[in-house]
Amino acid sequence: MSVLGPILALVVLVAIGAMMNSNFLGAANVTNVLARSAFIGIIAVGMTFVITAGGLDLSVGSMAAFIAGLMILVMNAALPSLGVGVPIILLGMLVAVVAGSLAGMLNGFLITTVGIEAFIVTLGTMGIYRSLVTWLADGGTLSLDFGLRTFYRPVYFEGILGISWPIIVFALVVLIGEVLMSRARFGRHCAAIGSSEAVAHYSNVDVNRTRLLTYAMLGLLVGIATIMYVPRLGSASASTGLLWELEAIAAVIIGGTVLKGGFGRVWGTVIGVLILSLIDNILNLTDLVSPYLNGAIQGVIIILAVILQREAKAKR
């Protein structure tokens, strides 16, 4: 896909939104769009590495739901001994990053060591994590203690100089991701594996280790995204993180990363995330289409992006 394609699409969307609603470019709406984009954006950065290395992960939305439920259970259980304060928040954050990393490593282990296809593994774990959070919630909703939720809310709603913490964390993840992808050996190894696993192996690239690390990184980033998400609502249920995997994959593909692997760009993924968020925001502000069709729109976008990638490759 052309480098300018996603950028032009983003500019056009901003222009359309500004023409259709006077509040579109207001500070409140822009901040809201960026903050809500942060969850998917953080996950999509990790997905960029997985897809660049020729992999795929369908479990990230269910994984986020499970991690959120686990965080809430642990924090509520520790409340009598730790009380409301920074230590219990740090405990919840530790649970999230450890659980996310382990979940990602499990996916990577089954794919690289056991030798099961990524699609099958992550399809299976998608169902497992979604069922586990449903079981933990007994079919309902897990809610953070009210005092804890009040204390934890600033992690989503506050920040520095008017920039909320989710936006700041997203920006840091993007910067680190871009350096790893474009300037570090790890990014080059991911691209080499995605282009040709056999050639990468003969070039002394540790294929299994690199692939395992991409899934572990993605799991870690799912945990970080969940840390930012939980204070927003203070709850978790079977519907938490629904279709997040679709949004993350769509953002990666729209941004120009090749679905079959071999080429990825983190900055393009950021543009893809913003495009999806702006489409959703424009539809909500104008009521042109039912919000229930957002998933269908994202699916169509993925298909169109892949078609454009294929046509661009054929012209080379």
The C-alpha angle with vertex 190 and arms to 187 and 195, in degrees rounded to 5, equals 130
Residue 228 has pLDDT above 90, yes or no: yes
Residue 41 pLDDT class (50, 70, 90 cuts): very high
Is residue 156 within 8 A of residue 165, CB to CB? The reply is yes
Residue 300 has a pLDDT of 80
Long-range contacts (CB closer than 8 Å, 24 or more residues apart) made by 202-208: 207/112, 208/112, 208/113
**Other CB atoms within 10 Å distance of the CB of residue 159:** 17
Residue 16 has pLDDT above 80, yes or no: yes
For 241, phi and psi rounded to 5 degrees? Answer: 70, 15
Q: Which residue has the higher pLDDT, 97 or 296?
A: 97
Amino acid residing at 87? P
Specify the 3-state DSSP secondary structure of 183. Answer: coil
Lowest-confidence pick of 104-113, 211-220, 293-302: 293-302
Question: From the centroid of its chain, how far is CA 32?
Answer: 17
E-assigned strands of the chain? 141-143, 159-160, 163-164, 235-237
Residue 313 has a pLDDT of 65
Q: Which residues pair with 235 in a beta bridge?
A: 143
Residue 129 pLDDT class (50, 70, 90 cuts): very high
Residue 297 has pLDDT above 80, yes or no: no
Question: From the centroid of its chain, how far is CA 282?
Answer: 21
Most confident of 12-21, 205-214, 283-292: 205-214
Distance CA 271, CA 267 (A): 7
65-96: pLDDT as tens digits: 999 999 999 999 999 999 999 999 999 999 99
To the nearest whole number, what is the mean pLDDT of the chain? Answer: 91
Give the rounded percent of residues in the chain with a pLDDT score beyond 70. 95
Number of helices (H) and strands (E) in the chain: give both, helices first. Answer: 14, 4
Residue 301 has pLDDT above 80, yes or no: no
Residue 291 has a pLDDT of 65
Residue 307 pLDDT class (50, 70, 90 cuts): confident
Residue 8 has a pLDDT of 85
Question: From the centroid of its chain, how far is CA 291?
Answer: 20
205-216: pLDDT as tens digits: 999 999 999 999
Residue 130 has a pLDDT of 96
Residue 178 has pLDDT above 60, yes or no: yes
Residue 293 has pLDDT above 70, yes or no: yes
The C-alpha angle with vertex 14 and arms to 281 and 222, in degrees rounded to 5, equals 50
Residue 142 has pLDDT above 80, yes or no: yes
